[in-house]
Amino acid sequence: MKEMFSKKYLATLISTFAVGTGIILACAGDWGPEYGTSSFTPEAFVDSGYRPFFYSGYSMYYDIGYDTKHDSRFNESNVNDWSTYLGNGAPVAELQHLLNTTTLGSIDSAANYASGKTKTLPASMQSFQLFKKLNSKTTSFLNYLVLAKKSEEFAISNVQYSWEYEEKKKRGPYANAAALNAKLLSEFTIAKDPFLKQRYWFQLERSYYFNAPTQKAIEFFESNEKAFPKNDMYYRTMAYAAGIYYTLKNYTKANYYYSRVFEGCAALRTVAHYSFHPQEQADWNATLALCANNEEKATLWQMLGIYYGDDVRAMQEIYTMNPKSEKLNILLARAINRQEQEFSLWNDGIRDNIINVKKDTTGNNLLAFVSRITQAGNTSAPWMWHTATGYLYMLKGNTAKAAASYAQAEKKLPKAELAQLQLRLLKLINIIASTPKADSKLEKAILPELEWLANLKMEDGEFRHSSALNWIKQTLSERYKAQKEFIKAVCYSNYTGFYINNSNIEAMKSFLAKPNKTPYEALYAKFYALTTNDLLEFQAIDLALHDKLDEAIVKMESIPNGGATLPGNPFNGRLQDCHDCDHEAPQKIKYTKLSLLKKMKDMKDKVKAGQDVYTNAMLLANAFYNITHYGNARAFYEGRITGEYHYSPFSIGNEFRNMLTDMTLANKYYTQGLNAAKTDEQKAKCYFMLAKCERNKYYNDSLYINRTYEYGDQPSMPDFKAWDGFRSLKQYKTTKFYQEAIRECGYFRTYSQR
């Protein structure tokens, strides 16, 4: 059996306005986990029955998003309840089938069979053990089930916002309500078995809720509620009574009952929470006045804290009534998880949000409150309060006080794994935060802790540690950089500046190759993002782009497979650069990074030896052009150090922009080609290619040099410049190449017409 009683739930999720510019509520990061930047795992502190209410940056309910179980929440417990009632003769699978799958018609037939009215069972039930040993309990069960299945017609929505929504909701009032209510009432009245009686009580109350009369619903609930045990069925019934009070605008009573449901039945917590909705201060005061004791009041304050985000006020009220109340735990966890988001900052190196320790007034109120209660030492979980206090101090940069709090927490730490892990993690962060210098003493202290953290096999959603690990790596990297220990710095957090200096790369290669590393060296070597091959490849690229082809070949040869295959013919030279055209064009020879270097080396040797200098110099120049950002073989330089997918020179890292856009070598070999050119056609072509190099250099020097030009304000640049190459090309008007250039290149055409 299923149920659904959140009518207003449907009405509240509408686009309130066609708002063009949304408000950004506390959204942590850019689609990171819903808990944002967090190192405080609520599961370590809070009963799992509160899980939907853990802090979430963007969901209604943590982990589940929305409550979609209105129709199925009690399916399993119903089966268990009936199984217990019916005793050993009732196989669970059969009960599951009868309760959750079978139609009203089949149940009706089965009930008739059980009561002797008919002789045959529906085909699907003929093998059921349940019907082999019929007794009065089975008959009672089936009679009940007939009425319960009838009630499903109005009590179940069967929709979770499907497109047939309108049609299914358009059922109108249930036609046989009066007869059903009369039958349920009579069954309720004659039932002697308390289990059955309570279930009829629930069924009739629910029917009153959906079908009226509402006044009867109130009387029926109030006059019978004392007779039943406070089990799930009791609170399910109470939730309907609360719903009726709500529709009668008796918010005082409705909210009081919702709070009782919230406290009494974990399965209905989301429902009670969603429906809980004081309207005016007077309702709220009256609801508090209805409470039979402080425990009930504490639940109301707990709901206020959860629903309306006033954690501190709620904790204050609960604490005053009962310092030992465990209702404080979820509120404290939420307050801390919300507060951590204020201590979070985007980090470019990590490409994620990480902890941001800052010494300002952020969170002073919460810290004052939490530390006051911690000092009083009279809560039910002092270690949680000590841990929270320590964490807040740590985020605010007071590591001494944090350490003292963690030490207190340790004295009272439970054995539970998550509790142990949580404190260990926070202590590690604190040790690093409190030691400005990364010296051997610190290294010794953190070695076992970092090994533990790095080898942890848990998901971040189980134990929130990734953000802390990222912070640790970034922080250590910065410390080592400041201390000029660059190998350690780059291992903890890779940064491109490291690779500008070849001696750094050589040192890194030696370090990676070093046998018998100390345990600490082995640890940070494991954090290093790159491999020796990445380094060799980068060195080869760097050498090639400095015209040191012999050495480049040696480096590239030590990499498996000679590096990536290039997508186009790197010896093409076009009037207009068109990478896609080159990549699509059929190619007889496919070059890898290595085979390209070898071919270039051949040509260079021939140029030197004076063999067919024009052709070889031009092809070599084309290749040097193409392996820059402007050419068709960017794949040659793309790698884990230089980066890839550069959509413009702006997107190349500062360290490499000059290296990857430089036209010097192309220019050098086009000039050699020009010097060796014999015909006007050849010369014309050389001048045009030189103009292209000149153009690229112009933009390198005037536009791409300044990163701020990428977005918005660009320097005032002329629309048109006549390159030296174009001026010289004018001498060759009669060549075919000139005509082709006029046809292909609008820029040149414009110039030629001046």
Partner 1 sequence: MKKYWWPLLLIMVLTAACRHQNKPLSFYYWKTQFTLNDYEKSVLNEHAVTSLYVRYFDVDFKPDGKEPEPVSPIKPDSSIRAYRVTPVIFIRNRTFERLEATTIPMLVKNVAFLVNLINQSQGIRPQQIQFDCDWTERTRDKFFEFIKQYRALTNQTISATIRLHQVKYKEITGVPPVDYGVLMYYNMGAINGDNNNSIYEKSIADKYNTYIKSYPLAMDVALPVFSWGLTIRNGKVVELLNKINFSQFENDSNFIKAASDRYQAKHACFKGGYYFKENDQIKQEHVPASDLLDITNQINKNTNHKIGKLIFYDLDSTNLVQYERDVFEKVLSNLN
Q: Helix 593-609 crosses helix 613-626 at what angle (to 10 degrees)?
A: 150
| Partners of 565 in beta bridges | 592
| Binding status of residue 278 toward partner 1 by CB under 8 A | yes
Q: Binding partner 1 by CB under 8 A: which of 10, 191, 454, 575?
A: 10
Work out whether 13 is an interface residue with partner 1 (CB under 8 A).
yes
- We find the least distance from the C-beta atom of residue 360 to partner 1, in angstroms, to be 13
Looking at the Cβ atoms of 25 and 589, the one nearer to partner 1 is: 25
Q: Is 655 in the site for partner 1 (CB under 8 A)?
A: no
Fill in the DSSP letter of residue 193.
S
Which residues in the 717-746 window bind partner 1 by CB under 8 A? none
Write the binding mask 60 to 99 for partner 1: x where contact by CB under 8 A, - elsewhere: ----xxx---------------------------------
If binding is defined by CB under 8 A, does position 290 make contact with partner 1? no
Query: 229-250: string of b/e by CB count within 10 Å (b at 16+)?
Result: eeebbbbbbbbbbbbbbbeeeb
279 sits near partner 1 (criterion: CB under 8 A): yes
Near partner 1 by CB under 8 A: residue from 192, 281, 466, 565: 281
> In the structure encoding, which two tokens stand for residue 513, read together?
């190759």
Closer to partner 1 by Cβ: residue 9 or 495: 9
* CB neighbour list of residue 466: distance below 8 Å, 6 or more residues apart: 460
**CB of residue 567 vs partner 1: minimum separation in angstroms?**
26
For partner 1, which stretch binds (CB under 8 A), given 273-281, 401-409, 600-608, 645-653? 273-281
Q: How far apart are CA 199 and CA 228, in angstroms?
A: 10
Site string for partner 1, 112-151 (x = CB under 8 A): ----------------------------------------
Name the minimum Å distance from CB 50 to partner 1.
20
Q: Is the peptide bond before 649 cis (omega within 30 degrees of 0)?
A: no
- Residue 441 CB, shortest distance to partner 1, in Å, is 41
* Element containing residue 594 per DSSP (H, E): helix 593-609
CA neighbor of 698 nearest in space, from 729, 722, 677? 722
Q: Write down the least CB distance from residue 18 to partner 1, Å.
A: 5
Residue 265: how many CB atoms within 10 A of its CB? 23
452 binds partner 1 (CB under 8 A): no
Select from 15, 503, 561, 716 the one that contacts partner 1 (CB under 8 A): 15
User: According to CB under 8 A, which residues from 156 to 175 bind partner 1?
Assistant: 160-163, 165-167, 170
Helices (H), 483-531: 486-492, 502-513, 519-527
Dist CA 72 CA 1 (whole Å): 7
Distance CA 12, CA 224 (A): 33
Provide the residue type at 188 as one letter: F
- The nearer residue to partner 1, 308 or 452, going by C-beta atoms, is 308
- Scanning 13-21, 173-181, 666-674, 711-719 for contacts with partner 1 by CB under 8 A, the matching segment is 13-21
CB nearer to partner 1: give 287 or 572. 287
Nearer to partner 1, 133 or 168 (CB): 168
Q: Beta strands of 368-421 (E only): which ranges? A: none
Among 11, 123, 513, 589, binds partner 1 (CB under 8 A): 11
First and final C-alpha spacing in the chain: 87
Write out the two tokens for 12: 């509240």
If one asks whether residue 14 binds partner 1 (CB under 8 A), the answer comes out as yes
Instruction: Report the distance separating Cα 175 and Cα 172, nearest Å.
Output: 9
Closest CB 303 distance from partner 1, rounded Å: 11
> Of the candidates 131, 307, 495, 709, which one interacts with partner 1 according to CB under 8 A?
307
The stretch near partner 1 (CB under 8 A) out of 7-15, 210-218, 392-400, 658-666 is 7-15
Q: What are phi and psi of 347, to 5 degrees?
A: -120, 120
Whole-number Å distance between alpha carbons of 549 and 555: 10
We find the least distance from the C-beta atom of residue 279 to partner 1, in angstroms, to be 5
CA 720 to chain centre: 48
Distances (CA, A) of 309 to 57, 145, 305, 314: 12, 43, 5, 9
Judged by the rule CB under 8 A, the positions of this chain that interact with partner 1 are 10-11, 13-23, 25, 58-59, 64-66, 160-163, 165-167, 170, 277-281, 283-284, 304, 307-310, 313
